[in-house]
Structure 1
Amino acid sequence: MQPDSAHSHAPDPAFEERTYRKVIFRILPVLLLCYIAAYLDRVNIGFAKLDMLNDLQFSNTVYALGASMFFWGYFLFEVPSNLLLHRFGARFWIARIMLTWAVISMAVAFTVPLAGVFNVQASTMFYTLRFLLGVCEAGFFPGVILYLNYWFPTHRQSRVMSGFLIALPISLTLGGALSGWLMTAMQGVHGLAGWQWMLLIEGVPSIIMAFVVIVFLCDGIDKAKWLDDKEKALLKANLVRENAGKVSRLSDVFFNPKVWLLILILLTFNTGFYGLAFWMPSIIKSAGVTSSLEIGLLTAIPYGVAMVVMLLNARHSNRTGERRLHAAIPAFIGGIGLMLSAYFAHDLVLSVLFLTVAASGILSLMPIYWTLPGTLLSGVAAAAGIGMINAFGNLSGFAGSMITATAETLTGNINNGTYVLAVSLFICGGLILSIPRSMLSRHADTTSALPSTLAMEKA
């Protein structure tokens, strides 16, 4: 819808900044908390593994296959989920996603009793629950990326994306300490193991956030009762100008070479990322740490540092308007960090140091990368394209979780798979450098970074 003539003139810059600040303060905290809850449920299986393998008599291969089954469910239902979000609205669909994934994640705590109910082996039930978890969560992350495209033009997305993606290191930092503490403190309470309590308790925030989403989010600009007509007209006019010339037809998405380049980048990136996320607790344990609480606290160090580095990299990218090197260099740094963490695996201090370098590089790439789909796609094409990119990209979660287990089976050393993860990040960096400059320069982001945007500055 085009704005009426009363508002078709160039907007006042101060009014425009106030309007976007208003949108950021309204929707970003909710999405941030949702993503923190999401990642608690997604990666806590890496901590549960420390004890559940013995309790359930699973091998590392069974664990790795179960961890990876999540991504097959995620892959198959990603695009349909995003199209349904576009059809039925973000408010209802994101809440549905969060509620169902919380229930399934908590159900993993009762793998053995459920296996008895359905008369199947415990490993089969574990695979099934992990697959269903992927089905239930499919569409959340690309749905949020799509939702942000409903509000913000590309040149404003880097700062918003960094604000949303900061949830990732926050959840991994807090999640490590919380998971380790729960597994230690709740061991044996009411006859349940610590890892069972961890899965149950860490599912509760997602249930709470499902209701928060229903109350606080709206489906788009037109349904935002907290915006006046002038603010709505400004936001819609900016999006109309932004979307001119983008791919908007669904049929064009699947044959667009730039979309497939973005998929390849995400495939190689996520192989390194999920390998790190799922196996970091085990890597630290192999260095000689046995306490679940101590392992949790040590995993918090790499992600805590990575959170700061991610924000600094996004801020510098926003300030300079440069994206390609701000994405490629972190990929190379992540690869180097993983290689050195494996090489010094038996030295706890050096191993954690280089895991910190790896996490900082890997996470710094994410907010830069996720501004790129919005430079190409709009409308239903954005819904399908972002879903497709994330669906194929997350198949690498299968590779990331299996590589380390396979390497341990073949060589007897869990750290050898880390070298393969590092190589995938080097390939990722090379693919980023192959992105056409025209793709990045069209909507160059020269705005200030999120922290300054969120500051209470005078208009």
Structure 2
Amino acid sequence: MTDTQSAALAPVIRKVTARLIPILLLMYILAFLDRSNLGFAKDAFQADTGISNAAYALGAGIFFLGYAVFEVPSNMLMQKVGAKIWLARIMISWGIVSALMMFAVNEPMFYVLRVLLGITEAGFFPGVIWYLTKWIPVEHRARVNGLFYFGAPLAFIFGGPLSGLLLDLDGLGGLHGWQIMFLVTGVLTVIVGLVCIGYLDNGPRDAKWLTPQQKDLLIAALDREEASKADHSPRGALRALANPAVLYFSVAYLTIQMAVYGVTFYLPSTIGTVVGEDVGLMVGLLTAAVWSLAIVGVVVATRIADRTGRRRIVAAVTLGLSALGILLSVVFQEPVMVLLALALGAAGFIAVQPVFWTLPTSFLVGGAAASGIALINSIGSLGGFLAPIVKNAADELFGAAGGSYALAAIAAIGAILIACSHLVARAVRTIGERTEATALAQEEAR
């Protein structure tokens, strides 16, 4: 893209960002809150239902089994049905199931509802990542992805105190505080899903809020990007599922998600232990303070990535800092230092993700982008299933700090995988070119 084209496109990108990001951000806040508010409810939920630590870990993680299985089909259906209707459908159905979590009063019901929650939410995140590739050229994508990723820390900054406040309403209407929390957040999700139907557009061509000239500029930029990726992208949605580069990125993303959920599911109870408080409003506020640094990390990482173009290096360093923060959170003894270490860990594993997604989306196109993004997220989401189990097992084997050491090591491995991803992409490209050349030579020989 020339400097003139970039200058002409900049105000269009700002307009698109201002239109789409607020609603997508709100959707992600609710998605992350619906997943993670189980962490806020952990102590009260287990006390009221008698569910053991092992059962809690299984229920927390089993969400991701249904989620992983339905990710790819959901994204492929969204490509056919259209993002507006499909994203709204996801929001409404998972909001209903989230509200029904108030009836998870025993282990079987807990497991069933967690699986259903994963199935109904499947496709939301990769759907949004794919949706943004239809609006935002790669030169601007890390920053815009970063704005969307504000949803995770904001879910804790605002949702943490909200969850704590709802938990403190224990006894209202004869309900436990955790039941009120699930009911309120579920209903909010359904409302936002209904709003999406009338607000979102499937692509720039449908956007009545863009002028014809703005549409032409944006579509031309996106078409140039698609053309540049055509030679390197897998041909078709199914081939992307077996592409070595896609599988490599899937494993790297798995390590990120294990760090995310290994910390997230236990963060409120960890902070409560550190400061000697029950999980409630005070712990919610402290959790919000920890996540505030994540927003700073997202802004810094994504701007450096877009300005320098060194997205791979920025992503690797950011995840490495997350590993360091998780490690220091068990090395330090003073509560303030522990909170700062947790903040560094959270900032790192949140900030790495918007930069990470610019790597696979820089070579995937068309149906391969829809299925490839979904597969990466699907395999990565298994980190949410594995993380609580690995953490719980490491804690039992090696003591209270064992789980955190394991999570730090996993994040460090992820940083190394991302740092080396260009070598894998180059090898896949070389093999593809040789295979194509051989096929042409054989055809000419005939």
Shared fold (TM-score, shorter chain, > 0.5)? yes
Partners in 2 of 1:398 and 1:291 — Cα distance? 23
Quick check: 1:78–1:387 contact (8 Å CA) kept in 2?
yes
User: How much does 1:133 deviate?
Assistant: 0.3
Pairing partner for 2:293 from 305, 310, 328: 305
Q: Residue 342 of structure 1 contacts residue 416 of structure 1 at CA under 8 Å; is this kept in 2? A: no
Between 1:385-394 and 1:208-217, the stretch displaced more is: 208-217
Give the CA deviation at 1:404: 2.3
| 292-301 vs 415-424, which moves further | 292-301
The runs of 4+ residues in structure 1 deviating greater than 6 Å are none
Q: In the aligned structure 2, how far is the partner of 1:10 from the partner of 1:299?
A: 43
* Letter of the structure 2 residue corresponding to residue 313 of structure 1: A
Letter paired with 2:246: V
Q: 1:243-258 counterparts in 2 under 5 A?
A: 243-244=226-227, 245=230, 246-247=232-233, 248-258=235-245
User: Where is the helix percentage greater, Structure 1 or Structure 2?
Assistant: 2
Q: 1:156 to 1:439 in 2, by over 3 A?
A: farther
C-alpha distance 410-243 of structure 1, shift in aligned 2 (>3 A): same
Match of 2:11 in 1: 18
Partner of residue 194, structure 1: 177
- Please give the TM-score of this superposition, normalised by the length of structure 1: 0.87
Q: CA deviation at 1:336?
A: 1.3
Q: What is the CA–CA distance in structure 1 between the aligned matches of 2:391 and 2:250, rounded to whole Å?
A: 23
Q: Which range moves more in the overlay, 165-174 or 242-251?
A: 242-251
The answer as to 2:147 corresponding to 1:163 is: yes
Aligned to 1:28: 21
Aligned residue number for residue 3 of structure 1: none
> Among residues 421, 433, 443, which one is paired with 1:435 in the alignment?
421
Q: What SS does the corresponding residue of 2:24 show, helix, strand or coil? A: helix
The 1:428–1:201 alpha-carbon spacing in structure 2 relative to 1, beyond 3 Å, is same
What is the SS of the residue equivalent to 2:158? helix
- Three-state SS of the structure 2 residue aligned to 1:395 is helix
Specify the alignment match of 1:215 in structure 2: 198
Q: Please, which moves more after superposition, 316-325 or 79-88? A: 316-325
Deviation at 1:229, TM superposition (A): 2.9
Q: Kindly indicate whether residue 332 of structure 2 is the aligned counterpart of residue 349 of structure 1.
A: no
Q: Between Structure 1 and Structure 2, how many residues are aligned? A: 420
> Could you tell me the percent identity over the aligned residues?
41
TM-score, normalised by the number of residues in structure 2 = 0.90
Q: Which residue of 2 aligns with 1:140?
A: 124
Structure 1 residue 385 corresponds to structure 2 residue 372:
yes
The answer (yes or no) to whether the contact 2:238–2:371 under 8 Å persists in 1 is: no
Within 5 Å, give how 1:11-410 maps onto structure 2. 14-112=7-105, 122-184=106-168, 186-244=169-227, 245=230, 246-247=232-233, 248-287=235-274, 288-344=276-332, 347-410=334-397
Displacement of 1:290: 2.2
Q: Name the CA distance, whole Å, in 1 between partners of 2:249 and 2:398.
A: 33
C-alpha contact 1:340 1:354 (8 A) present in aligned 2: yes
**Structure-2 separation of matches of 1:385 and 1:234:** 27
Secondary structure of the residue aligned to 1:218 is coil
Unaligned runs of 5+ in 2: 427-446
Give ranges in structure 1 of 5+ residues lacking alignment: 1-8, 113-121, 441-459
Aligned-partner Cα distance in 2 for 1:125–1:177: 27
Cα pair 1:19 1:231 within 8 Å, conserved = yes
Q: State the shift of 1:418 in Å.
A: 1.0
Looking at structure 2, the residues matched to 188 and 404 of structure 1 have their Cα atoms a distance apart, in angstroms, of: 33
Residue 408 of structure 1, CA deviation: 3.8
